[in-house]
Amino acid sequence: MSNDLFRALGTSASGLQAQSTRLRVIAENMANADTTGAAPGEAPYRRKTVTFQSVLDEESGAERVAVEQIAEDPSPFREVYEPGNPAADARGYVLKPNVNALVEMVDMREASRSYEANLKTLETSRDMLQHALDLLR
Amino acid sequence: MSFLDVDFFTVALQRMRHAVARQQVIARNVANADMPGARAYDIGSFDFARELERARTQHDGAVRQDPALLWCTRPGHMAAGDESGFAAGPAQESWDELPRGGDIALEQQMLAMTETKLQHDSALAYYRKAAELVRTATSTKI
């Protein structure tokens, strides 16, 4: 019986880890939202995305969630007219990263909400285990 | 006969097992909530009559008639099938159909979790009271 609770703890922990990886990638995207190339024609920072996958942990039999891969977003870069920028091309345009702050913020809220939900599940499983152990008192 | 073989202990334990199995399914749902196309799973509600019947059934399938006298089993025998005996299946109804194809609503899972915890704790309190009762009965102090 407690084995099942340990499995639940493991599943929640894997969810926490997956969501924190997602938050890390969002932070990378936000931090690099204005990172252009150093010279004309050089590509700026490319937005990264995280994909999840479901993994069966053979040892415990618990279904866990894990980061499948951190891929690059293939959408086109923004072009901004900034003739004074060292990375500007002959027409005066600079390639800016394909990061949209609004999309990142929404993604961040979702990741943080999922993180909280996993944390709450973990706490509840832990309480149930703790209360069962309290029978010994 | 062991004191703990009495029906109310067995059913209380079974109820805790049910809550724990459900908690595991909820943990799985919450962890997978952001996966595109992930469907919610759940475990059927606790059926008291069925569990009482199961508590009285011996491992060879014979139903124990008198719980106090005829309960005899070999501890080495394990029950067949799933360890807990509660199988998870797709959830009956979901509050939400998400745009990326899944139907795991976090709010619903939180509610199910609260419900599960309450059931677990009440079964635990019941078990504790029953144990106190046995302790009082076997106590030499009057």
State the residue range of the domain holding A56.
Answer: 2-136
The pLDDT value given to residue B5: 64
Confidence of residue B79 (pLDDT cuts 50, 70, 90): very low
ipTM for the complex shown: 0.78
Q: Per the CB < 8 Å rule, is A131 touching B35?
A: no
Confidence of residue B64 (pLDDT cuts 50, 70, 90): low
Higher pLDDT, A29 or B56: A29
Nearest CA distance, B5 vs chain A (angstrom): 17
- Of A1, A3, A117, Cβ closest to residue B30: A117
Amino acid at B36: P
Amino acid at B102: G
Pick among A3, A63, A120, A123 to test the B interface (most B CBs inside 10 A) = A63
The pLDDT value given to residue B78: 40
Q: Per the CB < 8 Å rule, is A11 touching B31?
A: yes
Average pLDDT on A69-86 reads 91
CA distance B126 to B132: 10
- The size of chain A, in residues, is 137
Higher pLDDT, B77 or B58: B58
Contacts of A54 in chain B (CB under 8 A): 32, 35, 38
Torsion of CA B74, B83, B18, A137, to 10 degrees: 60
Domain count, chain A: 1
Q: What are the Cα distances from residue B23, in Å, to A78, A93, B28, B35, B113?
A: 47, 56, 9, 19, 7
Residue at token pair 């005829």: B70
pLDDT in tens, A95-131: 999 999 999 999 999 999 999 999 999 999 999 999 9
Task: Note whether A20 contacts B: Cβ–Cβ < 8 A.
Answer: no
Write down the number of H helices and E strands in chain B: 3, 2
Residue at token pair 């073989």: B5
Collapsing DSSP to helix, strand or coil, A128 comes out as helix
The pLDDT value given to residue B82: 45
Strand bridging mode A93-96 / A78-81: antiparallel
pLDDT in tens, A44-55: 999 999 999 888
pLDDT in tens, B25-51: 999 999 988 888 888 888 888 777 777
pTM over 0.80: no
Mind giving me the DSSP string for B32-99? TTTSTTPPPEEEPPP-HHHHHHHHHB-TTSPBPS-TTTS----TT---SSSSSS--EEE-S--S---T
Residues 6+ apart with CB under 8 A from B110: A117, A120
Dmax over Cα atoms in chain A, in whole Å?
A: 79
Helix (H) or strand (E) holding A106: helix A101-133
